[in-house]
Structures are given as structure tokens and as C-alpha cells.
Chain A
Amino acid sequence: MVTAVLERPTHPTTVTVDIKQPKASLKNLEFFYGATRALKGITLDIEETAVTALIGPSGCGKTTLLRCFNRMHDLTPNIRYAGEINLYPDGINIISDEIDPIEIRMRIGMVFQKPNPFPKNIYDNVAYGLRVRGERNRGWINDKVEQALRDAALWEEVKDRLREPGTALSGGQQQRLCIARALATDPEMLLFDEPTSALDPIATASIEELIGQMNQNVTVVIVTHNMQQAARVSKHTAFMYLGEVIEYGVTDQIFTNPQTKRTADYITGRFG
């Protein structure tokens, strides 16, 4: 039995943004690995169809936070969630035990740091989620696969080799394949965990371009160590430190005139 006490967050979050239409709303979110309190009472709203970036030094909890959104922690032993992540429009609490994680992952896709295509061919990689969902209509699946690959800006490069293994693609292409796979199921929200840290600058640019175009209908949350990337792709940015959100605001403001010293020190490279 975990006996960690629910403390109040040590620092209040400096919030300089007013989210009108939240896609998700976090209320006092806490997360524990055993007795370690990794997230300390996080409260913030994620704007619908916008890109929100999570930045902060290693170990600050940004990936832990991201993984809460689609219950990626469920299989880790001795973990515990507390608080709420309400997903709109229906307002279900993502981390509630009554909610089936499979259902959540249908609605919220994830792209990881290293491209992780399934050991299947390109077509099957993208069609996988649709089949899991029980789709059998081939024509419909074909259309969906093509559309997802187009949306991921990969179609032109792979349309003649859809039966080749996904792992035969270059790193940047594999990452776009993973994005296509995530897009195929029409997710409401996409989570990116350092999606370009293993890619070269050109592949990075194409992924960023993709994220930029995506945000008309998908809500994106991205964790990145690349500050310029956060500044380029996101509308809002949250700076995290030691399991807390220190500052949350409009990206332009965070990067030109942050309101807290910790944020300023971190983004200008003064963190000791």
C-alpha cells in the first residue's frame, strides 16, 4: 500500500494564458512511482486543436505527464495516479479506473522519441489500428491508409512500396510512418515525446512542418528538449521543473519575456 501523503504543490504555477476551449483539463494531477512523487499537483488546460509544448530539464516529469494522457503508465508496477485529467467534449476522467485505456488510446495517439514501426509492411503498419478496431472493409481501409500517409507527408515516397517492411525506411520516414499510423484512427489528440531527437535536421523540419499543418483538427501535446522547436511549433508552452509546472503561457511570451526566473534561466541556458 502506497502511503505517500498528498501535499500541496510547493510553487503555484504562473499562468499567463487564458484557455477558452480546453480539450483536456488537468486538475491537481499527481503521479507516483512507488513512493516517489513525480508529478506534484499539476493544474492546467490544454487548448483544443492547438499545439502545447512541455519543456524542462531531464527528470522534471514532462514525459511522465505526457504518458498520463493515454495511460502509458498502466503496466508499470507500483504506480498511482491522483487528481483528474478530464477529456472533452464528454468530460471523462482519463486516469479513472473505470475508463478503459484501450478506448483512451483510440482517441489519443502517441509518437515516441525513437521511431517504432511494427515489424510489418508499411501498409499494415498504418492499417493496424483500424483492424484492431474491427474494420474489415478493404476499400475503406485502403482509402484511410492512403489519407493517413498523405497527411503524414509520406505517401509520395512510399506509394510504390507499400508491401516493404516499415523498418526498411529511413529514420525520418519511419517517424512519419509512426505519425501516419497514429493519424489513421482519427485521434482527437496526439502526443509527441521528443519526436525529432533521433532525426537529422531535414527530417526534423519535415516533422515540424507536419505538426504545423496538423493542428487544424488535432490537439497536439509535444515534449521537446529543443527549445527552438518548442518556440516554432507550439502555441502554448509549459515549463516544468521537479514535477511541477512553473510557468504556463503563450509560447511567444515564454520565449521572449518569461515571467519567472527559473523559466528564464532554463531557456537561456543558465540552469546550474
Chain B
Amino acid sequence: MPEHILSAYDAELDRLSKMIVEMGGLAESQLAAAIEAVIKRDSELAARVIESDDKVDQLERDLDNLAIRLLALRQPMARDLREIVAALKIGSDIERICDYAANVAKRSIALAQTPPIQPVHSLPRMAHFALLEVKDVIDAYVARDADKAFAVWVRDEELDEMYASLFRVFLTYMMEDPRNIGPCTHLLFMAKNIERIGDHATNIAENVYYLVHGIPLTEARPKGDRSSLEVVAPRPSGQAGAR
């Protein structure tokens, strides 16, 4: 795309884009560190993740300010308008991703205080899948690659399925031994957080798609997540826990 007649406008749009990339990079490293904190039971690392969340919040505020300034000063049209609106929306999605990563880190500290349990090992696979989604969608943004964004969007269904199956795993552990209820609840919330991270990655994918094509990614979202419909199967009468 040719440059604007006003070179300052190009510089500002460029800065906006770089801020998103910086936030995206932070989101990736925050999520990766949070997962590591869970696996290695590293509470110090978890504390650092929680602390770094402020940095992302500050970046998002800076991004908002720049975007608002651009809207007011440049009265953007067409692709420029979509660039700025997409940056605003993507920025808030990334900020939410970092919040979820921080929450995973926070729960990892609580989890590290209980004896290690087997189902912890089910979490990293899902988390790495989500991490890859975040990485790919940020790459799609950098390259303004709508096809790549769409691929992430489609792939999120798999993450939803992973969450649904983890949900059943954790439920089973909890039913087997009530001592698992505490740690498994934390794991369950972590899995839910990671599943939500995937949803934010698809939001970003939708915005990248809109940014590039100017039309919304309209096809209905794939819905693999059926965990909200799962119930603990009632046991035969006379046994406990059948309420």
C-alpha cells in the first residue's frame, strides 16, 4: 500500500501496530511462563507472571490513547479506519489473554501447596495448543494474513474439544477421591482460562480478517465445547452423591 501524503500519519499507524506486536509478544511469554510455573511448581516464576501483568495493562492504556488520538486527529477512512479499530479491539483481547495467564499463574501457587497429582500432566498439551494459537494469530496480524487468521479461528474448535475432555478427566479424578477436589478445581479453572484464551485468539483472528478484507468473518463459530452441558451422571439410588 502506498504511503500517506502525511508521513506523520504513517509513523503513528506504524507505532500502533508495533504496540500490538509488543503486547502480543508479552502475552505469549506470560502464558508460556504461567504454564511452566504450573508444571515445575515454581511459585517464584508464577509471582513474576502476576507482577508483569501490570506492564500489559499499561501498554493497553498507551495503545488506547494513541488509537483515540489517531481517530480524533486523522479522521481515518477505509483500511486506516479498520487498522485503528482492529488495533483497539485486538489490544483488549490481548490484555484479557494476559489476565487469564496471570490467573493460571495465581492458581499454580495454590496448586504447588498441595501434593502433586496425576491429572496435572493433562494440562500442558492443551496450554501449548492455546499458546500456539496466540502465537499464530499475532503472526497473522503482523503479516496481515487473513488466511492464517482464519486457520487459527477454525483450529480453536480443537481447543474446545480438549477442554471438554479435560473437564471429564478432572471430574473423574474428583469422583474417585475427594482429596483431589481442591487441586482439580484449580486445574479445572486453569483449563477454563486456557479455553477462554483460545476464544480471545479467535476474536483477534476475526479482527485480522476484517482488517484485511473489510467484511466480517461471518461463518458460524465452530462449537466443540459441550462441557457446559456435562453433568455428573446420577448414580443408582441408595448411593451417596446422587443428588
Contacts and interface: CB of A to CB of B under 8 A. Distances in A.
Interface in A67-113: none
A265 B213 CA distance: 16
Contacts of B2: 265, 270, 272
B25 interface: no
A228 interface: yes
A257 B78 contact: yes
B75 interface: yes
B110 to A, nearest CB: 47
A33 interface: no
A231 B76 CA distance: 12
Interface residues of B, number: 18
Interface string B67-78: 000000001111
A270 B1 contact: yes
Contact of B4 (A255, A257, A270): A270
A265 B80 CA distance: 10
Contacts of B4: 268-270
A169 interface: no
B6 A256 contact: no
A256 B85 CA distance: 11
B81 A256 contact: yes
A269 B5 contact: yes
Interface string A243-272: 000000000000111100001110111111
A258 B78 contact: yes
B76 A268 contact: yes
A-side interface size class: 10 to 19
Interface in B1-36: 1-6, 9
Interface in B175-216: 213-215
Interface string A137-181: 000000000000000000000000000000000000000000000
Contacts of A258: 78
A60 to B, nearest CB: 17
B79 interface: yes
Interface string B44-87: 00000000000000000000000000000001111111100000
Nearest to A257: B214
Contacts of A66: none
A268 B78 contact: yes
Contacts of A271: 5
Interface string B213-239: 111000000000000000000000000
A203 interface: no
Given A227-B75, A268-B79, A269-B9, 10 more contacts: A257-B82, A257-B213, A257-B214, A257-B215, A264-B79, A267-B78, A269-B77, A270-B2, A270-B4, A271-B5
Interface of A: 227-228, 231, 255-258, 263-265, 267-272
Interface of B: 1-6, 9, 75-82, 213-215
Closest 6 CB pairs of A and B: A257-B214, A267-B77, A270-B2, A268-B80, A269-B4, A264-B78
15 contacts: A256-B77, A256-B78, A256-B214, A258-B78, A264-B78, A267-B78, A268-B76, A268-B79, A269-B5, A269-B9, A269-B77, A270-B1, A270-B5, A272-B2, A272-B5
